[in-house]
Amino acid sequence: MSGAAKALGKVAVLLGGSSAERDISLMSGRGVLAALQSLGVDAQAFDPAERDLSELKRLGIERCFISLHGRHGEDGTVQGALELLGVPYTGSGVLASAVAMDKVMTKRIWLAEGLPTPRHVWLPPGEHTVEQVQAVPDQLGLPLIVKPPREGSSIGITKVQTADQMRAAVELAARYDQDVLCEEFIEGEEVTCPVLGEGPGARALPVVKIVAPEGAYDYQNKYFTDEVKYQVPSGLPESQEQDIQRIVLAAYRTLGCRGWGRADLMIRARDRKPFLLEMNTSPGMTTHSLVPMSARAMGIDYAQLCLLIASQARLDAQPAVAGTPSPSAA
């Protein structure tokens, strides 16, 4: 066992959970668990949907690697519970997790900071009338995107091509969230950019370009097919890659994120301008996931990445530890 692995102590990998992304979380968590164990870390799986979090103290867990996705996993709730238990955890704290999980709140903050994000219309509960829904295309144009603002993995999302598709799209999104987010559709290339670290020490990893069949980077293509092509290096001009990394770091720091995260963006075809779509504070770690892919391009393998993320686990009230390994040192 390496000194770094031993220093982590007893680790629980939180996986599964009760959100609509449970299946993806199980895949992520199992991968992380196997990777940590392969390095000699004393790690075990822990599914909060099947066990009470208070058991973590009884088991003597010294830190948690959060591999939960969606509600009750990356929305600040499990982070708050771990704060109360005093068990350090990976990723962003309570506030940053809660804000980043809500795409409407995230947009408000980014817009206030002058960061580029697509125009949007928010339909809160009680404002899904025929008139209100049909007015959205007049504001945003067509096509447009309708999505639940507090879900991930492309769940509940519709690309609306004609006005008569709006009602069904809003109803689908509303099955997953009482709020509905309607967003301007950005025609162009889809990219993603991970971040490791915290504050001034945070570093953006290489940009990954996503080329999906007919532009359908949906739930099925994300996790269960090999039809999507990923380019890393991205093939973008170096100046544009650096500009995207700069914007992503600003977006990450503005939300108060720490540990790790991943921003998804669109590059508008007509003028090559990048637009931030969302910030993921508990990204996927499956065989199809993008953070490991990007990290590998800079020489960090999957197991090293898991160890690096786990080493940065902490509580909101606990300052970052000086000397924490940087991405380049992994």
DSSP 8-state assignment for residue 287: T
Instruction: Kindly name the residue from 74, 264, 289, 302 that is annotated as catalytic.
Output: 264
Which of the following is catalytic: 89, 176, 217, 223? Answer: 223
Measured in degrees and rounded to the nearest 5, phi and psi for residue 239 equal -65, -35
- Confirm whether 153 is a catalytic residue: yes
Q: Is 197 a catalytic residue?
A: no
> CA dist 217 to 120, 177, 182, Å?
20, 21, 18
Active-site entry in 278, 302, 311, 314: 278
Catalytic residue (choose from 19, 92, 97, 280): 280
CA 320 to the chain's CA centroid: 21
Q: Which of 19, 28, 284, 302 is catalytic?
A: 284
Asked about 171 being catalytic, the answer comes back as: no
Please tell me which residue in 262, 282, 289, 294 is annotated as part of the active site.
Answer: 262
**Active-site residue, from 16, 21, 156, 190:** 21
Upper half-sphere CA count for residue 269 (Cβ side, 13 Å): 5
Catalytic residue among 28, 153, 221, 234: 153
What amino acid is encoded at 83 in this protein? E
10 Å Cβ neighbour count for 111?
Answer: 13
Catalytic-residue membership of 184? no
* Cα angle: 295, vertex 301, 304; to 5 degrees: 100
Question: Are β-strands 42-46 and 144-147 bridged in parallel, bridged antiparallel, or unpaired?
Answer: unpaired
Inter-axis angle of helices 238-255 and 94-101, nearest 10: 120
Asked whether 15 and 68 are in contact (CB, 8 A), the reply is yes
Element (H, E) at 181: strand 180-184
Active site residues: 21, 153, 223, 262, 264, 278, 280, 284
